[in-house]
């Protein structure tokens, strides 16, 4: 209805790259999106932020592993990584989106533990080198 305002509406704030990386710095669960063989694909992953890059584990030979291998040397496959936090009670929250190339990384190059809640067979590492970092926060009025 015109003239009526939602009393639970908030203000939307754009976050800079540093704020975005600070919000996701503790690690946790995020979502990875990419063009898979059956079409657009999204998977939840446990991640860590290491030296400004997103690192997570996948199953070698699995859907994500196969989709992120082009077979062409030096061809980078860009993917999206998203994390959000929603506080429904207070009508507040934030969302961070990172886009960049996915790189297969040997376990020996990872200097920290990255847990995988999906199972121990996730022994292959992927890192995302951020090329674009965006975020939004909604604050209650």
Could you report the per-residue pLDDT of 14-56, keeping only the tens digit for each?
A: 999 999 999 999 999 999 999 877 789 999 999 999 889 999 9
- List the one residue out of 23, 68, 70, 75 whose CA is nearest residue 49: 23
Q: Where are the domains of the chain?
A: 10-140
- Residue whose token pair is 């934030």: 94
CATH match of 10-140 with 2.30.110.10: yes
- pLDDT the model gives residue 112: 63
Return the SS3 of 20.
helix
For residues 86, 13, 79, 111, the Cα torsion angle rounded to the nearest 10 degrees is: -70
Q: In this prediction, what percent of the chain has a pLDDT beyond 90?
A: 50
- pLDDT the model gives residue 86: 92
- List the one residue out of 115, 129, 136 whose CA is nearest residue 48: 115
- pLDDT the model gives residue 31: 96
């Amino acid at each position: 209805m015109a003239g009526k305002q939602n009393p639970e509406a908030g203000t939307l704030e754009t976050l800079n790259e540093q704020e975005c990386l600070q919000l996701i710095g503790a690690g946790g669960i995020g979502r990875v999106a990419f063009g898979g063989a059956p079409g657009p694909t999204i998977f939840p992953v446990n991640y860590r932020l290491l030296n400004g890059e997103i690192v997570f584990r996948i199953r070698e030979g699995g859907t994500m592993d196969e989709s992120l291998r082009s077979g062409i040397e030096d061809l980078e496959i860009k993917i999206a990584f998203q994390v959000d936090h929603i506080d429904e009670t207070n009508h507040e929250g934030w969302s961070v989106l990172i886009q960049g190339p996915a790189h297969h990384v040997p376990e020996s190059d990872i200097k920290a533990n990255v847990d995988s809640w999906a199972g121990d067979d996730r022994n292959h590492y992927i890192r995302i080198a951020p090329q674009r970092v965006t975020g939004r926060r909604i604050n209650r009025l």
